[in-house]
């Protein structure tokens, strides 16, 4: 009952000085709003990263050849940093061979669902009847589609028969079909198109059309009508165009869905291939990366930066708290006679102290709630501009509410205690 009565007195006092109360809350609003805005953008970015890599296959393991480190490296969340990340040019004897791939399949038959292969052939154009479309030509095997989700609009995926037969078939995006065939995917099937790569001309037949999905994290300046999309051909055909029979620089393992610890499996594959095939290689080694490790690392970096920025923004809360304390001291001075009257009528020191603490808490709580609303609106707008869906940082919001109340208690205690210790006789004499 005492808390309720003091709350009513506190609210009445705040409404009697609306402008002063609003200006006092401004520091709290700015501080809380800044933190919530930053955490909203961070949460939105983290969610987007997680969803993006989940679509790429959270349980996929990328296995690649890398240059051996000549210096001590640091591991963080499964990723290596340092000299090993430098680009390399592999000789034929350093590449991953088909025999190695088969050995991995045999050794881990219960864990490996399929192995995806891809080879970049080059960038160029598709030409047909005077129309052109920009493409990146990539050679793949049939299992590529197990590791990379593509929405098929018409036709079929590339098959093992296409790969083994070095077929001149191609999968193109709906953007290519739109530029070349006016957008009719069905009529594009089995059509002959001319592909120009490195100033060389090749003839392919369209086997399938997939839906192009724009990468929201890409900041490409390309015109959406002439965007460069990936076109897929059998990897054997791609190697034939490159005039090479060399092996692979990397491959991707699609694991069985019942594997609980993909990172542990990745480490096991890395150790197996290094011991069996690269133990005598003094220049290169096998390194594995999982989608989950990349996701964790990127999210960790985003969160670290966000927390650091939020901490800096939160300094304004200290300023806001000091402002609350100053205004409470002014309020006590203005209400000295009121305090004296209450004490003369029998109000205890604890009652006076609670009244002003509650007043400070309500002031900060209202400011905190307004700051949360403003911060989320600002953060959602910023996330939308960046191309991400707004994600409410619930932990930060709840923490802000609690923190606002803590600020009220902390910065309100000294003024409240000063008010409680006023001598009633001196207070009544105050002019």
Same domain, 151 and 48: no
Assess if residue 412 is contained within a domain: yes
CA-CA distance, 169 to 193, in Å (whole number)? 10
What's the pLDDT score for residue 380? 85
pLDDT over 60 at 369, yes or no: yes
Among residues 231, 247, 263, the one where a domain terminates is 247
Same domain, 310 and 243: no
Tell me the backbone φ, ψ of residue 153, rounded to 5 degrees.
-95, -35
Report the pLDDT averaged over residues 36-63.
Answer: 72
What's the pLDDT score for residue 26? 82
Same domain, 307 and 394: yes
Among residues 247, 282, 307, the one where a domain terminates is 247
Where is mean pLDDT largest: 39-53, 204-218, 254-268, 408-422? 254-268
What's the pLDDT score for residue 341? 81
154, 159, 165, 170 alpha-carbon torsion, rounded to 10°:
30
CB-CB contact of 28 with 367 (8 Å): yes
For the chain, how many structural domains are there in total? 2
Report the pLDDT averaged over residues 254-278.
Answer: 89
The secondary element (H helix, E strand) that includes residue 288 is strand 284-290
pLDDT over 90 at 257, yes or no: no
Same domain, 217 and 330: no
Query: In this predicted model, what pLDDT tens digit does every residue of 194-248 receive, in sequence order?
Result: 999 988 999 999 999 999 987 544 444 455 567 899 999 999 999 999 888 888 9
Greater pLDDT, 201 or 260:
201
Greater pLDDT, 56 or 102:
102
Assess if residue 70 is contained within a domain: no
pLDDT over 90 at 173, yes or no: yes
389, 390, 391, 397 alpha-carbon torsion, rounded to 10°:
180
Burial of 282 (0-12, 13-18, 19+ CB in 10 A): exposed
The mean pLDDT value of the chain amounts to 81
Among residues 247, 279, 310, the one where a domain terminates is 247
pLDDT over 50 at 81, yes or no: no
Report the pLDDT averaged over residues 107-121.
Answer: 92
| Lowest mean pLDDT, pick from 17-31, 73-87, 107-121, 278-292 | 73-87
Assess if residue 106 is contained within a domain: no
CB-CB contact of 126 with 193 (8 Å): yes
Query: In this predicted model, what pLDDT tens digit does every residue of 301-351 receive, in sequence order?
Result: 777 776 777 677 667 677 777 888 887 787 777 777 877 887 787 778 888
Assess if residue 303 is contained within a domain: yes
Of 79, 74, 49, whose CA–CA distance to 62 is shortest? 79
Same domain, 340 and 424: yes
In order of 57, 101, 159, 232, 242, the CA distances from 145 in angstroms are 11, 18, 10, 11, 23
Same domain, 347 and 407: yes
Same domain, 46 and 125: no
The per-residue DSSP string of 233-273 comes to EEHHHHHHHHT----BSEEEEEE-TT-S-HHHHHHHHHHHH
Greater pLDDT, 268 or 416:
268
Q: What's the whole-model pTM score?
A: 0.60
Report the pLDDT averaged over residues 31-47.
Answer: 80
Assess if residue 286 is contained within a domain: no
What's the pLDDT score for residue 16? 76
Assess if residue 69 is contained within a domain: no
Assess if residue 129 is contained within a domain: yes
Q: Are strands 169-173 and 200-210 parallel, antiparallel or unpaired?
A: parallel
Measured from the Cβ of residue 143, the count of other Cβ atoms closer than 10 Å reads 19
Assess if residue 220 is contained within a domain: yes
pLDDT over 70 at 414, yes or no: yes
pLDDT over 50 at 390, yes or no: yes
Give residue 127's domain range: 118-247
What's the pLDDT score for residue 75? 44
């Amino acid at each position: 009952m005492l808390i309720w009565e003091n709350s009513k007195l506190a609210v009445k006092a705040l409404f009697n000085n609306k402008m002063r109360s609003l200006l006092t809350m401004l520091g709290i609003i700015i501080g809380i709003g800044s933190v919530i805005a930053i955490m909203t953008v961070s949460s939105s970015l983290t969610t987007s990263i997680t969803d993006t890599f989940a679509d790429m296959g959270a349980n996929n393991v990328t296995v690649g050849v890398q240059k051996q480190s000549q210096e001590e490296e640091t591991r963080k969340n499964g990723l290596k940093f340092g000299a090993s990340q430098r680009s390399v040019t592999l000789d034929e004897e350093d590449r991953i061979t088909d025999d190695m791939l088969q050995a991995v399949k045999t050794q881990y038959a219960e864990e490996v669902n399929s192995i995806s292969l891809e080879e970049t052939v080059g960038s160029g154009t598709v030409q047909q009847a005077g129309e052109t479309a920009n493409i990146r030509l990539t050679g793949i095997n049939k299992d590529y589609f197990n590791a990379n989700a593509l929405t098929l609009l018409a036709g079929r995926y590339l098959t093992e028969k296409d790969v083994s037969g070095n077929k001149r078939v191609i999968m193109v995006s709906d953007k290519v079909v739109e530029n070349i065939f006016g957008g009719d995917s069905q009529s594009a099937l089995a059509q002959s198109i001319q592909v120009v790569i490195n100033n060389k001309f090749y003839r392919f037949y369209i086997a399938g059309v997939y839906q192009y999905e724009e990468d929201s994290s890409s900041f490409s300046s390309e015109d959406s009508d002439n965007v460069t999309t990936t076109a897929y051909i059998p990897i054997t055909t791609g190697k034939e165009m490159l005039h090479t029979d060399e092996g692979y620089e990397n491959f991707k393992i699609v694991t069985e869905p019942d594997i609980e610890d993909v990172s542990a499996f990745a480490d096991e594959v890395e150790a197996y291939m290094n011991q069996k095939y690269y133990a005598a290689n003094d220049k290169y080694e096998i390194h594995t990366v999982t989608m989950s490790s990349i996701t964790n690392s990127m999210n960790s970096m985003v969160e670290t930066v966000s927390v650091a920025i939020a901490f800096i923004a939160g300094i304004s809360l200290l300023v806001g708290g000091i402002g609350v304390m100053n205004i409470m001291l002014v309020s006590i001075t203005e209400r000295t006679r009121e305090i004296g009257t209450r004490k003369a009528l029998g109000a205890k020191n604890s009652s006076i102290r609670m009244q002003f603490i509650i007043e400070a808490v309500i002031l900060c709580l209202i400011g905190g709630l307004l700051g949360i609303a403003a911060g989320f609106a600002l953060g959602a707008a910023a996330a939308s501009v960046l191309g991400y869906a707004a994600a409410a940082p619930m932990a930060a919001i709840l923490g802000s509410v609690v923190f606002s109340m803590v600020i009220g208690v902390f910065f309100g205690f000294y003024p409240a205690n000063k008010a409680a210790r006023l001598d009633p006789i001196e207070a009544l004499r105050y002019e």
